[in-house]
C-alpha cells in the first residue's frame, strides 16, 4: 500500500516539475518575443530617421538640380532634359579632365625646360667664372666688353626665365580651375549615386519592417494562445497540488499503519524464531528417541547383483534359499535352510537411493549433535566401496551425506540472521597393515604412504582436520582419497581395497548470543577392506600380509560386536587399530549403522554366509518379522 502511494506521489512530483519547466520555457519565449519587438521598433525608428535624412538630401539635390536647371537649362522641367543636362555635364567633365591632363603634361614639359635652363645657367656661370679668371690677366677694355656681353646675356636669360615662370604659373592656375571643375562634377555624380543607394535601402528597410510587423502579429497571436494554455495548466496544477496534499496525508497515515504492522511483524518473528528453536530441540530429542528405540546399532544387508564375469553359467546366477547341493553317495540330500532378520534388506534390484533412504535418519542425528558411525562390511568385491562412494551416476552414502550436511548448514545460518555459525571439518585416515596414515597431508606424496599417525586414547594424534566451505571442497578431498588409497588386484577382485578408509565429518554449531545452541556432531563413514579366503584370492608375499592384517582387524571388529551384544564387562577395543579408533562410535550414546554387503552368486556362498552371521551378531535379531533373507 505504501509503495503504491509513494509511486503516485513520485508521479505527481514529476508531472509538477514538467509543468513548471513548460511554464518557464513559455515565459522565456515571451521575453524573447518582447525583446524582438523592442528591437524591431528601434530598428524602425532608425530606418525612419535614415529615411528622413535621405529625403532631406534628396531635397537638397533637387534644389541643386533646380539651380543648375535655372542657370544652364531653359525650360528643363522634364526628367529627359535633366538627363540631357547631366550628359552635357558629363561631357564637360570629361573635357575638363582632358584639359587638366594636358595642363599637367604642359606643366611637366615646362618644368623640364626650366630644369634645362637652370642647367644652362649653371654652365654659363661656370664659363663666366672661367672667363673672369682669363680676363683678369687681360686688359680693362676686354674686361669691359666681356662684362657688357655677359650682362646682356644674363639679362636675356633672366627674361626667358621669367617668361617660363609666368607660363608655369598660368598652367598651375589652369590646373586648379580644372581640379575645381572636376571636383564639382564628381560631387554631383556622388550625390546621384547616394540618392540611388538610399532609395534601395529605404525599399529594403520597408520590406523588413513589413516582415517584422507580420512576425510580431503572429507572435502576439501565439503569445495569447500560450497565455491561455499556461492559465489552464496553472489551474490544473492547483488541482494536482490539492490531490497531492490529500495523497500526502493518506501516505502519512499509511506509514503509521505500516510502522505498526512492522512492529507487530518483528514481535511475531521473534516469537516464531523462539518457537522454532524450541520445536527444533523437541524434534532433536524425539528423533534421537526414535533412533534409540530402533536400536543404536542398526544392521542393513545389501545383496549386489551379478557382474558380467559371473553371468557365464546361467544356472548359477542367483543364490538359492537353501544351501548348495552336495553328493551324499546315494543318500537323500539334506539341504539346510537359513533364515535371518535385519532392520532392512536390499536385494539386487534396489539402487543407491533406497540405501540412502534408510541411512538418512542417522546423518540427521549427526547434524543434531550426536556421534554417528556408518561402515560397510563384507567380502572383497561385494560392493562396499560402491555403496559408500559410488560414481557420478550412482552416488553413494558419502556424497549424499555431504550434500545434506551443507544444505542444513545453509538453512541454519540463513534462519539465524548471522547469530549462529556452522563449521564443517573433515578428517581422512587410512589403516594399512595396522598403521594409521593421514591421506590429507601434503607431505604424504602422491600415494600418501609417508605420514604415519600415532593412536593415543582411541584418537588419532597429529592428523589434519581440514575446513570445508562447500561440498566441492569435500569432493576434492574424496578425489585425493581415491588416488592415495591402497588398491591392488587379486584373483577375487581386480580393484581390491587393501586398507580401511575412515572418513570423518565434524559438524560444529555455535552462537555467541544464544544459549543452548552449541553442539558438536561427528559422522564417521568407513569403507572397510574386504575379507577374503587365502585359497581363493591366491595372495602371497605383500598381498598375503595385507590379507592377514585385514582379516585380523575384521575378526577383532566381529569380536567387539559380539562382546557388546553380550554386554560383557571387557570389550577388546585394543585388539586392533580399527576397533580402537571406533571405540566412541561403537559404545555409549552413539548411533551405528552396519551395512553388510554380500554377493548373490553361489560360488561366494560361504563368504556371504560369514557376512550374514556377522550381521546377525550385530543385530542380535533372528526370525524378525518383515524383511528376511535366507542363504
Q: Is 476 among the annotated ligand-binding positions? A: no
Contact of 531 with 379, CB cutoff 8 Å: yes
Rg of the chain over all Cα atoms, to the nearest angstrom: 66
Q: Are 529 and 498 in contact (CB under 8 A)?
A: yes
Closest of 425, 428, 457, 436 to residue 522, by C-alpha: 425
3-state secondary structure 217-260: HHHHHHHHHHHHHHHHHHHHHHHHHHHHHHHHHHHHHHHHHHHH
Residue 599, Cβ density class (10 Å: 0-12 exposed, 13-18 middle, ≥19 buried): buried
Whole-number Å distance between alpha carbons of 607 and 598: 8
SS3 391: coil
Eight-class DSSP state of 315 = G
Q: 426 near 504, Cβ under 8 Å?
A: yes
268: exposed, middle or buried (C-beta count within 10 Å: 0-12, 13-18, 19+)?
Answer: exposed
Write down the residue that cell numbers 585416515 correspond to. Answer: 429
Burial of residue 80 (number of CB atoms within 10 Å: 0-12, 13-18, 19+): exposed
Cβ pair 506, 406 in contact under 8 A: no
CA dihedral 299, 300, 306, 309 (to 10 degrees): -40
Angle at which helix 352-367 crosses helix 140-294, to 10 degrees, equals: 100
The dihedral built from the CA positions of residue 66, 72, 78 and 80, taken in this order, carries a sign that is negative
Q: How many angstroms separate the Cα of 362 from the Cα of each of 288, 367, 404, 626?
A: 9, 9, 12, 21
Strands 452-456 and 459-461, by their bridges, are antiparallel
> Are 18 and 12 in contact, with CB atoms under 8 Å apart?
no
d(CA 276, CA 456): 41
Q: Is 382 annotated as a binding residue?
A: yes
380 annotated ligand-binding residue:
yes
Using CA atoms, how far apart are residues 318 and 324, in angstroms rounded to an integer?
Answer: 11
Helices (H), 312-446: 352-367, 384-388, 397-415
DSSP track, 549-597:
HHHHHHHHHHHHHHHHHTT-S---GGG-HHHHHTTTTSSTT-EEEEEEE
Q: 378 a known binding residue?
A: yes
Supply 196's cell numbers: 540611388
Residue 499 marked in a binding site: no
Query: HEC states along 248-271?
Result: HHHHHHHHHHHHHHHHHHHHHHHH
d(CA 285, CA 267) in angstroms, rounded, equals 27
C-alpha span between 309 and 118 (Å, rounded):
151
The reply, when asked if residue 49 is annotated as ligand binding, is no
Count other C-beta atoms under 10 Å from residue 168's C-beta. 16
> Which residues are known binding-site members?
378-385
> Which residues are known binding-site members for ATP?
378-385
Amino acid at each position: 500500500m505504501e509503495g503504491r502511494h509513494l509511486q503516485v506521489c513520485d508521479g505527481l512530483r514529476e508531472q509538477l516539475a514538467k509543468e513548471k519547466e513548460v511554464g518557464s520555457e513559455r515565459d522565456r519565449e515571451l521575453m524573447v518575443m518582447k525583446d524582438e519587438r523592442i528591437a524591431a521598433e528601434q530598428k524602425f525608428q532608425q530606418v525612419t530617421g535614415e529615411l528622413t535624412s535621405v529625403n532631406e538630401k534628396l531635397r537638397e539635390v533637387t534644389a541643386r538640380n533646380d539651380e543648375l536647371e535655372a542657370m544652364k537649362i531653359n525650360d528643363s522641367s522634364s526628367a529627359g532634359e535633366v538627363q540631357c543636362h547631366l550628359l552635357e555635364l558629363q561631357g564637360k567633365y570629361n573635357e575638363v579632365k582632358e584639359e587638366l591632363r594636358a595642363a599637367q603634361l604642359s606643366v611637366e614639359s615646362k618644368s623640364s625646360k626650366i630644369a634645362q635652363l637652370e642647367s644652362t645657367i649653371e654652365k654659363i656661370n661656370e664659363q663666366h667664372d672661367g672667363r673672369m679668371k682669363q680676363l683678369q690677366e687681360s686688359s680693362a677694355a676686354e674686361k669691359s666688353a666681356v662684362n657688357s656681353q655677359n650682362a646682356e646675356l644674363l639679362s636675356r636669360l633672366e627674361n626667358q626665365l621669367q617668361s617660363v615662370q609666368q607660363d608655369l604659373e598660368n598652367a598651375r592656375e589652369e590646373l586648379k580651375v580644372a581640379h575645381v571643375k572636376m571636383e564639382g562634377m564628381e560631387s554631383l555624380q556622388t550625390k546621384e549615386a547616394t540618392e540611388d543607394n538610399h532609395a534601395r535601402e529605404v525599399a529594403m528597410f520597408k520590406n523588413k519592417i513589413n516582415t517584422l510587423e507580420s512576425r510580431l502579429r503572429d507572435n502576439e497571436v501565439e503569445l495569447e494562445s500560450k497565455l491561455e494554455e499556461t492559465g489552464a495548466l496553472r489551474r490544473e496544477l492547483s488541482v494536482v497540488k490539492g490531490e497531492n496534499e490529500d495523497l500526502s496525508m493518506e501516505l502519512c497515515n499509511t506509514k503509521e499503519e505500516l510502522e505498526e504492522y512492522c512492529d507487530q511483524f518483528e514481535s511475531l518473528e521473534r516469537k516464531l524464531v523462539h518457537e522454532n528453536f524450541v520445536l527444533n530441540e523437541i524434534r532433536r530429542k524425539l528423533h534421537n528417541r526414535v533412533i534409540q528405540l530402533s536400536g543404536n546399532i542398526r544392521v542393513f544387508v545389501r545383496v549386489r547383483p551379478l557382474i558380467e564375469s559371473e553371468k557365464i553359467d546361467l544356472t548359477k546366477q542367483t543364490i538359492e534359499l537353501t544351501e548348495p547341493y552336495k553328493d551324499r553317495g546315494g543318500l537323500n540330500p539334506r539341504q539346510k535352510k537359513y533364515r535371518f532378520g535385519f532392520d532392512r534388506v536390499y536385494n539386487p534390484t534396489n539402487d543407491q537411493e533406497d540405501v540412502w533412504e534408510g541411512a538418512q535418519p542417522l546423518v540427521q542425528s549427526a547434524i543434531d549433535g550426536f556421534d554417528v558411525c556408518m561402515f560397510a562390511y563384507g567380502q572383497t568385491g561385494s560392493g562396499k566401496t560402491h555403496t559408500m562412494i559410488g560414481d557420478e551416476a550412482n552416488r553413494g552414502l558419502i556424497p549424499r551425506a555431504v550434500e545434506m550436511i551443507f544444505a542444513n548448514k545453509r538453512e541454519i545460518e540463513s534462519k539465524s540472521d548471522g547469530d549462529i555459525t556452522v563449521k564443517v571439518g573433515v578428517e581422512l585416515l587410512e589403516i594399512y597393515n595396522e598403521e594409521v596414515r593421514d591421506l590429507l597431508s601434503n607431505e604424504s606424496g602422491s600415494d600418501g604412504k609417508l605420514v604415519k599417525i600415532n593412536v593415543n586414547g582411541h584418537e588419532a594424534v597429529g592428523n589434519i582436520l581440514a575446513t570445508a566451505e562447500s561440498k566441492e571442497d569435500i569432493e576434492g578431498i574424496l578425489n585425493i582419497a581415491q588416488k592415495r588409497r591402497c588398491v591392488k588386484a587379486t584373483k577375487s577382485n581386480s580393484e581390491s581395497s587393501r586398507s580401511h578408509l575412515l572418513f570423518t565429518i565434524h559438524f560444529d554449531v555455535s552462537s555467541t548470543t544464544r544459549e543452548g545452541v552449541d553442539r558438536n556432531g561427528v559422522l564417521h563413514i568407513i569403507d572397510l577392506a574386504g575379507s577374503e579366503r587365502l585359497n581363493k584370492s591366491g595372495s602371497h608375499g605383500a598381498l598375503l600380509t595385507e590379507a592377514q592384517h585385514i582379516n585380523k582387524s575384521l575378526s577383532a571388529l566381529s569380536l567387539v560386536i559380539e562382546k557388546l551384544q553380550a554386554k560383557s564387562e571387557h570389550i577388546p577395543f585394543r585388539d586392533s587399530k580399527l576397533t580402537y579408533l571406533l571405540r566412541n562410535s561403537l559404545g555409549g550414546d552413539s548411533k551405528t549403522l552396519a551395512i553388510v554387503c554380500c554377493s548373490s552368486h553361489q560360488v561366494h556362498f560361504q563368504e556371504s554366509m560369514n557376512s550374514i552371521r556377522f550381521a546377525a551378531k550385530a543385530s542380535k535379531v533372528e526370525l524378525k518379522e518383515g524383511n528376511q533373507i535366507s542363504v
